[in-house]
Each structure stands twice: as C-alpha cells, then as structure tokens.
Structure 1
Amino acid sequence: MKTKSVLITGLLSVFLFVLTAANTLQDTITFEGVYDGHEDYGYNFIETSEDGDEFTMTLQRIDESLLKSFDLNTDKLIGSKFSVTYTTEIETEKDEDGYEDEVEVYTIVALKKL
C-alpha cells in the first residue's frame, strides 16, 4: 500500500512540474522590419505584409543585453533593417476603476541587423 502511495505522489509531482514548465516556456516569433524609433510605450518597427502593405509592430520590452549591442533608445539606428525575434506574454493589469484587463506584452529577445 505504501508503494502505491509513493508512486502516486511521485507521479503527481512530475505532472505538476511538467505543467508548470509548460506554462513558463514561450514560443518565439521572428519578422523582418525597419526600425522606426522608440517611444514611451515601446520600440517600433515597420513591417511589410505579403500584400505589400506597411504596418507598425510595437514591442514593449527588450532584453537588456541587446541594448549593449543595439542602442534602440537613440535615433542612430532609425531606418536600419532588422530581423527581430520576440516572445509574447499575457499580463493582468488593473485599470483606474479596479477592473482587471489582460494585456499582451511583446519582448524582443534577439536582434540581427540586416
């Protein structure tokens, strides 16, 4: 009987670990775009769709180590083309009335100047 209890407890621990690890892993997405500057709300890149339409992709955060190689907080790199890799995370924020709202936050995790 103790063997079954230990086995079930062990399997439950493994299941919870895998479930937690799966929730912390994030997929990455990569696109090519022309850097258009930094605003208070994020880093802007102009991307061109398959139809030839331009649109702005705004990414709110950047891995701090990338800023040492690519100082996106200055105007020096505006107009430069990059391959941008980012992750998406859902965060819950409260508005001024105390209501919770889910917000998608994009974080740049890799940059390559093209």
Structure 2
Amino acid sequence: MKTKTILLASLLSLSLFVLTSSKPVQDTTTFVGTFDGHEDYGYNFIEVSEEGDEYTMTLQNIDESLLKTFDLNSDKLIGTKFSVTYSTTTEVEKDEDGYEDEIEIYTIVSLKKL
C-alpha cells in the first residue's frame, strides 16, 4: 500500500511538472495562395475566396530558415503557388494620442511549393 501511495504521488508530481513547464501550443492557420511579392510591410499572397473573389493576404514576418529555401525577398518566386502556414501574435501599440491598439502580427512558419 505504501509503495502505491509513493508511486501515485510521484506520478502526480511529474504530471504537474510537465503541465507547468511545457510551452503553450501556438495556433497556426494554413491557406493556399499565389506569391505576389515582398514590400516593406510584409509578404503578399493572392487568395481566392469561396465566392471566387481575389484578395491579398499580407504576412509581416517569416521564419528566417524558410528564406534560405524560398527567397521571398526577390522577385523570382512571384506567381508561384504555395501552401502557407502562419502563426498569429497580438501586440499592443500606443498611438500618438496615447490610446492602445491591438495589432495582429502574422509570421510564416511553413511554406510548401505547389
């Protein structure tokens, strides 16, 4: 009985350690789009809505390791279709009047050429 109690206490301690020390899972979103170039404010991809309308999705950042495989800073890949996975973070900025504004920042975390 004492052995079971010690084992159970050890498992509970281990579970608590794993739950409190693991990093939070970051949500990602994936879409298919055609690369439309890089501007100072981000990387542009053209998507088509379910209704057939085109719109531009701009992602502000890219994981640096992806730029070694896909040079999105040049014009060579414009017109290339990709499966793009990105993460979203929210930053709070103050405007010139001191009001806080939440801004979503999109970071490309995975690219697959289609």
Specify if TM > 0.5: yes
Q: CA deviation at 1:97?
A: 2.5
Q: CA deviation at 1:96?
A: 2.1
1:58 matched residue in structure 2: 58
Q: CA deviation at 1:58?
A: 0.4
1:71 matched residue in structure 2: 71
In structure 2, stretches of 5+ residues that fail to align are: 1-8
Establish whether residue 48 from structure 1 lines up as the match of residue 25 from structure 2: no
In structure 1, stretches of 5+ residues that fail to align are: 1-6
Q: Which entry has the higher C-alpha Rg, 1 or 2?
A: 2
Q: CA deviation at 1:49?
A: 1.0
Runs (4 or more) in structure 1 with deviation over 4 Å come to: none
SS of residue matched to 1:37: strand
TM-score (norm: length of structure 2): 0.79
Q: Tell me how many residue pairs correspond in the alignment.
A: 101
2:90 matched residue in structure 1: 90
Distance 1:58 1:109 in 2: 14
2:5 matched residue in structure 1: none
Please, what is the CA RMSD of the aligned residues? 2.1
1:1-114 alignment, distance < 5 Å? 17=20, 21-22=23-24, 25-114=25-114
Q: CA deviation at 1:17?
A: 2.5
